[in-house]
Structure 1
């Protein structure tokens, strides 16, 4: 397994030729690190990790299917529960405080399931995506900056910055965060 510093370096250098990588990595180190060190983030992830410890992959797939079905439904109890939690309120405040730079923020647990988010995501399980695999699975200190894409919902050019989240008590990776960045605002 790669050390956090090595994983971070490899993740960042994979797109080193891209002009958005350096400023996004700076934002990760100057701002997002402070967000993920907050007790509200750590405690929410630890609680969900304990709650979901016994889930099988079939259970995770079912939760993801339920979430996806609710994104277009009139009744959204699962989505409303996540959007209504204290972590989501905290993430909305962080997004709003970034004055247009941040387009979305969401936190995932040790299974890649959403714990809190500023905006509704299209799916509940991120564990099959690079944003979780290249951070949570890479260990402490991992940072992954993805390619720039047009985000249809916000009509902005966006890249996602993802980082592993560490339990300060144990030093173990307990989850990950993804922050959508409006690259035109960098």
Structure 2
């Protein structure tokens, strides 16, 4: 059955008929269930609140500088900024979640109120997500919002995936304080 599903998904992709809408109901259910639960975990909320305190005064020039450093490090041997994020407690928590998902989650990353990475299960190509729909359509849209990307074949894993994003919401104020994005292997839904 899994082989049939994989073949059917790739036929849809090859014919241009596949997009996130093919799995929209399943992805929304996942977003409003397991993903929302993780986004509201104490580990995620505490880490986002702590980073929001650190980055509150960052202007766009500072954000661009940090993003430029991250991108340069992604191509370098020495990666102090990337290592600091990958070695923090939140990144360890997210990596454990990804490892325990039986291949459902291909990546997980959490962003703060500026759209900067707080923690991640694997290295992202950039540090600032604030210019992308995954952050704008969740953090900017408020509590209960969901962003589901189109289906794409991941170049590194060759898996068909969609990114599902939800806001990280402060339980005291019910206001967004950040966002979280999950790469979802739709073949494992």
Q: 1:17 Cα shift?
A: 8.0
Partner of residue 127, structure 1:
130
Is residue 147 of structure 2 the alignment partner of residue 136 of structure 1?
A: no
Flag structure 2 segments of 5+ consecutive residues without an equivalent.
Answer: 1-17
Q: CA RMSD in A?
A: 1.4
- Distance in 2, Cα, partners of 1:17 & 1:89: 29
Matches within 5 A, 1:27-176: 27-176=30-179
Does the 8 Å contact 2:167/2:178 carry over to 1?
Answer: yes
In the TM superposition, structure 1's runs of 4+ consecutive aligned residues that sit over 3 Å from their partners are: none
> What TM-score do you get using the length of structure 2 for normalisation?
0.88
User: Across the two proteins, how many residue pairs are aligned to each other?
Assistant: 172
> What TM-score do you get using the length of structure 1 for normalisation?
0.89
Query: Which of structures 1 and 2 has the bigger CA Rg?
Result: 2
- Distance in 1, Cα, partners of 2:78 & 2:172: 39
- Distance in 2, Cα, partners of 1:90 & 1:83: 10
- Distance in 2, Cα, partners of 1:116 & 1:16: 28
